[in-house]
Chain A
Amino acid sequence: MTDASQRAAPSGSPLRRAAIFVALVVLAGLFLAPTVGVIFSAFKTTRDISLGELWSIPSRLFLGNFAVVLEKPEIYVYLRNTFIVAISASLLSITLGSLAGYVFAKLPFFGSELLFLLFVSGLFFPPQIVLIPLFKMFNGMGLIDTLWALIIVHTAMGIPICTLLMRNFLISVPDALRESALVEGVSEWRILLFVVLPISLPALAVLATLQFTWIWNDFLWPLIMVQSDEKRTVMLGLVFLRGQYSVAWGIQGALALLASLPTLLVFLFFQRYFISGMTMGAVKG
């Protein structure tokens, strides 16, 4: 197994590698500017920011914002809730998407293209339009103000993209793999679980990263489905730090930084699964 970043080793001339590095540094600098702004805001008082001093390099680091955030007991409840929802819904949607993607890629049938398109059409509308129907549905089921409502919604809403990605990825996996396993008498679900999925680790890693990030950062569904404080997610908590006639730049910056850590860590964790060559190796062997 070769790591993606090691593959081009033989062909890079030093000049080319230096040029790439410089380009990356410049781009990284541009990309970092807004992030640095957020970091600055976390270490300044709201008052200083109101007075227009956001972009000046802080002479001292004001830690009060972090203190306020970390001292609020609700924040930990919010974080716990968000973890529960994000992890469960990611797992469920990726599972369901993989099942469907496998069928569309390896077991197509008359009309499966259309069904696939129907799945993908779930991406085609702004979530606001199903706010009311879903609210009514969950209300009828007594699931309003529970984390279940959030988990179910995010699972369902994640099925289209998971299906799309898995199906596209699995199409590029050679049919020979499946056929040789079938010849050996392996049943279909075992093929899916033990042959196909291990090869799909890069796609699964991408989905895990993206789904977790999207669900973690979602604000709309918690807004509608959750009413009491114990069920809130961290994004709601972040937005409601601002009052009707007040602003809370510093605290919001601090909380935003803290809340971005899980998704960043998930991203870094799944990086190692962007591995190439598994497909080829499996066919040869």
Chain B
Amino acid sequence: MDPWVILRRCGTAVLASALILAANVAWAAENEVTIMHYFTADIGGAGLHPIFDKFKKETGITVVDSPIGHEDYKTGILVRAAGNSLPDIFSEWAGARTQFVVDTGKLEPLDALWAAQKLDSVVAKPVAASATIYNGKRYLIPIGYHYAAVFYNAKVLKDAGVTTTPKTWDEFVSMCKTLKGKGVTPFALGTKNRWPGQFWFDYLLLRTAGPEYRAKLVAGKASYTDPEVKKAMALWKDIVDAGFFGENSNADDWTDAADKVAKGQAAMTLMGTWITGYWTQNGLKAVEDYDFFDFPTVDPSVPRVAVGPVDGFVISAKGKNLEGAEKLATLIISDVDLQINWAKTQGALSPNVNVPTSAYTPVMERAKESVATAAAFNFNYDLANPPSVADVGLNMFAKFMGGTNDINALLEETQKEAADAFKK
């Protein structure tokens, strides 16, 4: 055969292949959305895979999934960011962490999307107000949130003769005394990984000093040596000294503390609603085995604030498939069925106002009500503070639970370190 014919045919084949390849690559980019998150294990998959499947059915776009355990998640995201290879859409905890990423300029503002999809009428107001706006623009789409409250073992309380849950601090203390009198440790607290202690600090401070003061503290505009903080710590010290917490809090993880309550070795633990997911996994039943009450009021003139984390997704400004990422985010928050599934599988609360009551256990429904009727929704300490400051505070709580008699010295040390951390 004429060599030129062969050459021409080869050339055509090569050109055709290149075009097809290029088209494939472009098509692949359009038809893929990369996502990175920390919802690992079967539980995470149970919540997310239905979303990805439905997304693919509705839009034809495949979601390239990349879960990382949340301990390593911060490392993973950092490496991706440093390598200029952030996924199209990824998880972040609302609050200071998202603020940090927003400030690096690597996120896409979502105001246009928010307005176009009318998310104002979909997302619960307290969550939308606190979790989605940074530097005046929307950046985060929430997927679920949790509420921190006092979860208790129903049988233990019943056996001890406690019939009503406390609403005020005095009722609270007297209930603890009753429990202790019957030989039950009132509280389990597992501060091995430090963070569980933060809820105590958060609520004590919020109930005595109020949300405006706390906002100042987490912004570095108030001091840990202020009388407000001292008052909250004094209350905490009272109940620790009264023996309401078991020993060796620093030896237990939050799951160990939850196990103690489940076993009846302690009556209550101050923890987020995810504990219901954990307990359900271990075979406990809502209302029958466990229930909760809101952290009691200390000062009746101070408005009641709800504390909890918001899990959300942010979209990378330079991702390969911005449009696809936005569609996915919309689906995540707006689809009621998917949100119901999310709430059920994660033991979380849905920020979607259209989710019916039937989606929740009675316990979770009441939790939702508590948040809805609260004056404000605040993020817990380690999400409200910038990372280095959060570290200082968490250390303080762990030191406190490890047994410190000189609160003032502890607070001064904390203030010094926090001031340093705020500066950098």
Contact = CB atoms under 8 A, between A and B. Distances in A.
Given A136-B83, A242-B40, A52 B263 contact: yes
A180 interface: no
A246 B277 contact: yes
Given A132-B83, A135-B82, A136-B83, A243 B40 contact: yes
Q: Which 9 A-B pairs have the closest CB atoms?
A: A243-B41, A245-B274, A240-B40, A243-B43, A227-B66, A132-B82, A135-B83, A136-B83, A50-B259
A51 B83 contact: no
Interface string B27-67: 00000001010111111100000000000000000001111
Nearest to A138: B83
A239 B69 contact: yes
Contacts of A247: 255, 278
B12 interface: no
Interface residues of B, number: 39
Given A52-B259, A223-B75, A227-B34, A139 B66 contact: no
B340 interface: no
Contacts, number: 89
Interface in A226-267: 227-229, 239-248
B255 A50 contact: yes
B66 A228 contact: yes
B203 to A, nearest CB: 20
A172 to B, nearest CB: 42
Contacts of B44: 243-244
A239 B75 CA distance: 15
Overall SS of chain B's interface: helix
28 contacts: A51-B262, A51-B263, A128-B75, A131-B75, A132-B78, A132-B83, A135-B83, A135-B85, A136-B82, A136-B84, A139-B83, A223-B75, A224-B76, A228-B65, A239-B72, A242-B40, A243-B39, A243-B41, A243-B44, A244-B40, A244-B43, A244-B44, A244-B70, A244-B274, A245-B274, A245-B347, A246-B41, A246-B43
A12 B281 CA distance: 58
Interface in B77-96: 78-80, 82-85
A240 B67 contact: yes
A17 interface: no
Contact of B85 (A47, A51, A139, A223): A139
Interface residues of A, number: 27
Contacts of B282: 46-47, 50
B105 interface: no
B68 interface: yes
Given A245-B347, A246-B41, 10 more contacts: A47-B282, A131-B75, A132-B82, A136-B83, A242-B40, A242-B69, A243-B41, A243-B44, A244-B274, A245-B43
